[in-house]
Amino acid sequence: MAFEKTTGGASGRIGKAPSACDTPSSEPCAVLIVGASGDLTKRKLIPALFYLFRNRLLSDGFFVLGLARSPMSEEAFRASLEEAVKDNKGFDARLWAEFARRLYYLQAGYDAASLKKAGEVMDEKARAHATGPNRILYLSTPPSAYEGVIEAMAASRLAAEERGWARIVIEKPYGRDLESAKALENTVSRHFREEQVFRIDHYLGKDTVQNIMMFRFANSIFEPVWNRHFIDHVQITAAESLGIEKRAGYYEEAGVLRDMFQNHMLQVLSFVGMEPPSVYESEAVRDEKVKVFRAMRPLDRGSVMDNLVLGQYAEGEVNGASSRGYREEEGVSKGSIVPTFAAMRLFIDNWRWQGVPFYLRSGKRLRSRFTQVTIQFKAVPHQMFSRLFEEEIGPNAVIIRIQPDERIQLRFHAKKPGSRVCLRDVVMDFGYTEGYDGLVLEAYERVLLDCMTGDKMLFIRSDAMEMSWKWLAPALDYSEGRGKAAPELSLYRAGSFGPVEAERFMASDGRKWVDYER
């Protein structure tokens, strides 16, 4: 395989036709979006499908049927989606007109009779668009409706695979705790085989998350030092500058641990901590991720209190604009103890990672929006330059940035030019799309296409989902305590990097957080 230069400008959103290295085009299929009048369809699903369509990654045999209770004509449905898609780069009116002819709307409920009607409409449109019997059933409803919709799908025979395949896509949150997740899984497993179920986490569709495996297992210079002998600790941060926006109802029920840790954070952790699979295939990779969850040191109430900092944002200033506190947000209880920030320390008890702390941190209304993994290496065993430099010589680090700019940085030390012996910190910086002029898929584009091709590598398996809930349960119990059992909740100003208690938490281990740097 030839090496390519990685200098030059970043690629645009419209690339060349796909090469052998790009994800293959989808199979012919119909997509039913249940709850299609909601925000997810407008902001994510239809823009992603249109991008795949205009880059020739969708089969000619393809259409979308949106089902929702909202009264709306088909023309109004298409027009509302066009307005949403126009906000994206590279909008092409001619291609949109062609794509829009594949969009249909059915005003109906989520009961069996309504879904039977949806099935009849899909059969009719399948003949017109030559999709065959293949269908994707996408749940874009509130999570509280999942079980009822799944039962109705089964009763209406939408999930039947008599002539082709049927796949169900379930958005997070997959339950709100271990018990509810198990109840939902029982409903799902009664009507769908595991091969049909795609539990979506769009974070896993981000190229830099997938690139963690390539970075580790395709490069002989990194994998030999990816262990407890060389790594001091690992940090995973997912910081958001936004607040809860208009999702107070959801967030008051979820909080940061359900919203970010049970899914996104632990999934990224599994890529960092996994062992190399024997082959690069979906089930082999997912087997190794499950082993990471199985090896995580269990929490109990005592260890939770020692390894968890919870916070909630107060009024402050974000990006030069004043910001109100969480308890002043519309729809939030004035005495709410729902955490909007959490910092957690955990350990993976196996030969590779024994004794290496993993620090996870996520919060809302922080200074900037960024997600990154920091692999911090141990200091050199003997510092021969200690008499030459007054300043402390810091550790080396690899930083894998997932957003807003996808890149990998290697930080190390070198001599300053000149006659004097002076040290400087330098960075090797690789921008993920630099020097690449091919097609770039964003998160929802990738996971939707994988669903259509049947590739489950980036989707969560039932055992992994259950283990993540089980491991997190003591932290959830602690965060939701009342009275004397209520958690210690640290307030932090909006626009900061979080509560000072999180800094002290790291300082007690002799470490500090690595924040976003351009």
Could you give the residue numbers annotated as active site? 264
Give the residue among 329, 399, 351 at the shortest CA–CA distance from 371.
Answer: 399
DSSP symbols for 445-507:
HHHHHHHHHT--TTSB-HHHHHHHHHHHHHHHHHHT--GGGPPPEEEEETTBSS-HHHHHHHH
Q: Which two tokens stand for residue 405?
A: 């700019």
Residues contacting 54, CB < 8 A, separation 6+:
14, 90, 92, 95, 99
Instruction: Give the other-Cβ count within 10 Å of 484's Cβ.
Output: 5
Task: Confirm if 515 and 497 have CB atoms less than 8 A apart.
Answer: yes
List b or e across 403-425, with b for residues whose CB sees 16 or more CB atoms inside 10 angstroms: beebbbbbbeeeeeeeeeeeeee
Cα angle 515, 12, 55 (rounded to 5 degrees) comes to: 125
Task: Say how far apart CA 338 and CA 369 lie, in whole Å.
Answer: 21
Q: Which two tokens stand for residue 180?
A: 């509810």
Task: Say how far apart CA 307 and CA 125 lie, in whole Å.
Answer: 55
* Backbone φ and ψ of 109, nearest 5°: -85, -170
Task: Say how far apart CA 449 and CA 440 lie, in whole Å.
Answer: 13
Report cis status (omega within 30 of 0) of the bond before 224. no
Q: Judging by DSSP bridges, how do beta strands 231-239 and 370-377 pair with one another?
A: antiparallel
Task: Say how far apart CA 460 and CA 468 lie, in whole Å.
Answer: 11
Radius of gyration for the chain, computed over Cα atoms and rounded to the nearest angstrom: 24
Residue found by looking up tokens 């190794």 in the block = 288
Task: Say how far apart CA 66 and CA 59 lie, in whole Å.
Answer: 19
Q: Which strands make up the sheet holding 489-493, listed edge to edge?
A: 423-431, 407-415, 397-403, 370-377, 231-239, 357-363, 341-347, 308-314, 489-493
Task: Say how far apart CA 115 and CA 146 lie, in whole Å.
Answer: 14
